[in-house]
Amino acid sequence: MRDGVLLRADLYRPDTAEAVPVLIRRTPYGRAGSPGGASVDGLRLVRSGYALLVQDVRGRFASGGAFEPYWHEAADGADTVAWAVGQPWCDGSAGLFGRSYEGMAALLAAGERPAGLRAVAPHAAGSGFDEGWTRQGGAFQLGFVLYWVLYDLLLSGAGLTGPDLAEVAAAVDRIDELYADPDAAADLLDRLAPYYREWLRHPTGHPYWNRAAPRGSYPSINVPVLNLTGWYDIFLAGALENYQGIRRQGVETRLVVGPWSHCVTGGIFPQRRYGLAADERELDVTGLHLDHFDRHLRGRPAGAGTADPVRLFLTGADEWRAFPDWPVPGTEEYVLHLDGRRLTHGPAPSAAGSDVIRHDPADPVPTTGGATALPGQFTGGDCGPLDQRAVEGRDDVLCFTGAPLTAPLTVVGDTALTVYVTPDAAGADVTGKLVDVWPDGRAELLCDGIHRLAPRPEAAPEPRPEAAPEPEAPGAGGTPTPGRPVAVTVRLGAIGHVFRTGHRVRLEVAAGNTPRFDVHPRVVAHHTVHHGGAHPSRLLLPRLAGG
């Protein structure tokens, strides 16, 4: 690297004397195992005529230097491309690809515009390391971040031995206890992963995060980008932002969204099967990479099915559809009003109503599916389209349900809830879930979101000195004042879904989602949710015209 640090990599080459293009995957998870990672057949890339370079990022496994998540990936990635394209076995052209952190690293390197880089393919990659990775809607993503640091970053590749390694292994084994009391892991993390406390200290939007953010690289990215993600992927919003942000620069970019979570890629969840076409292997994700790199590194013609840049799997209909862009053209606002415990389409209800939610930090609303990355992520046991009926039976969860549909309703795009809340002085989390209720009663989760309201100044601070006060998350209607409702916008997430005839649309509103998000506030609190009259709380869906 430019500072003299040595990064190690494995090189796979076709059995030819000719110079060939190189594809580069830079990973913090170890270069051993499948060279293409979790979703790409790396040896197929080599058999197709590419050299494949798989590198341990700085400070991980065999590579030198100190690992500081995020900060070195732009420069190190650019230096790696420059080294690779200058080798005699390379024809001077390179592509970057990878999943999750690897995909983010690829985008950061692309923003450096290294000579010879011709295309990038980030898979399940976010747009920044603050909102959408460390936090969402102002809430700390405790479930994912704590497990990621302990299991993925410290348990392997960090060079720990002896008591340190044993202590991390014990922490992973008791992760559920740490979710309930995350402060119990503070000393361990301060000693072995000091960056974790820095993430707690710096809220969304703080300049701290600007050192490494793909969204900040959009104006500099000048090579075609293939974005792949899933409806239940924890980084879905970031992948969609990457597509839009890069496309606005006039750069060719494509988007594929399947019915996948971060680790479930076969379209089969414990409670839902989307069919054979939903499987990444059936879609041929490796083939998509080859078509992308063949076009831009070798100048070959595009493969079949590439006329439209956006390809979405519509759940409910359980089929792939092609579209000219994202957001999908031809959608219209479809507003459902919160009316008592109903969702109604039409004029806003004139009658005012309200409900009080009790928030108990000792018994928070439990995470039940959705775009999570928790310890059961590899089996889908805690993520994706889980049935919500058990959690809906709690007295701290409000359900608003529409009438049975008399025709299919196709929703494609970003969904949002605007709800009027009088929060407790200690602060509040406002969560929302969009649910498809089947005729047999199954309540299938489609997407969910959160918005954090900070305590009022006169309220006692939470006993968490390491966490700096967080500003209002984007979309808030104003600063809460004593006894007065505030309009809160909860971004529920993007979907491509068909509500079938006879199904019903349901909205859940609660004050938490734990352990996906940290508990807030840490005291018993009461929040009032208003609807109707002067406080027209509503659910906004992007309906596809004619659907």
Instruction: Provide the token pair at 404.
Output: 């049975």
Say how far apart CA 260 and CA 87 lie, in whole Å: 38
Provide, for the chain, the percentages of residues in helix, strand and coil under a 3-state DSSP scheme, each rounded to the nearest 5: 25, 30, 45
424 catalytic per annotation = no
| Residue 406 Cα distances to 345, 497, 504, angstroms | 13, 16, 10
How would you label 95-113 residue by residue, b for 16+ Cβ within 10 Å and e otherwise?
bbbbbbbbbbbbbbbbbbe
| Catalytic residue, candidates 39, 48, 63, 100 | 100
Q: Give the 3-state DSSP-derived string for 110-151, with helices as H, strands as E and coil as C.
A: HCCCCCCEEEEEEECCCCCCCECCCEECCEECHHHHHHHHHH
Kindly name the residue from 262, 359, 527, 530 that is annotated as catalytic. 262
Q: Which residues in 59-212 belong to E strands, given as ranges?
A: 90-99, 117-123, 135-136, 139-140
| C-alpha pair distances (Å), 118 with each of 91, 454, 461, 496 | 12, 45, 51, 31
312 in Cβ contact with 519 (< 8 Å): no
Identify whether 531 is a catalytic site residue.
no
Token duo for residue 255: 């988007």
Rounded CA gap, 60 and 157, in Å? 5
- DSSP letter at 209 equals G
CA distances from 131 to 103, 195, 427, 434, 451 (A): 17, 16, 20, 21, 12
Strands 135-136 and 139-140: antiparallel
> Please, which residues have CB within 8 angstroms of residue 341's CB and are 6 or more apart in sequence?
398, 399, 400, 401
The C-alpha R_g of the chain, in whole angstroms, comes to 24
- Is 93 among the residues known to form the active site? no
Out of 41, 79, 130, 233, the active site residue is 233
- Tokens, residue 394: 């709690």
**In angstroms, what CA-CA distances link 313 with 225, 279, 414, 442?**
20, 11, 15, 21
User: Around Cβ 467, how many Cβ atoms within 10 Å?
Assistant: 17
- Catalytic site positions: 100, 233, 262
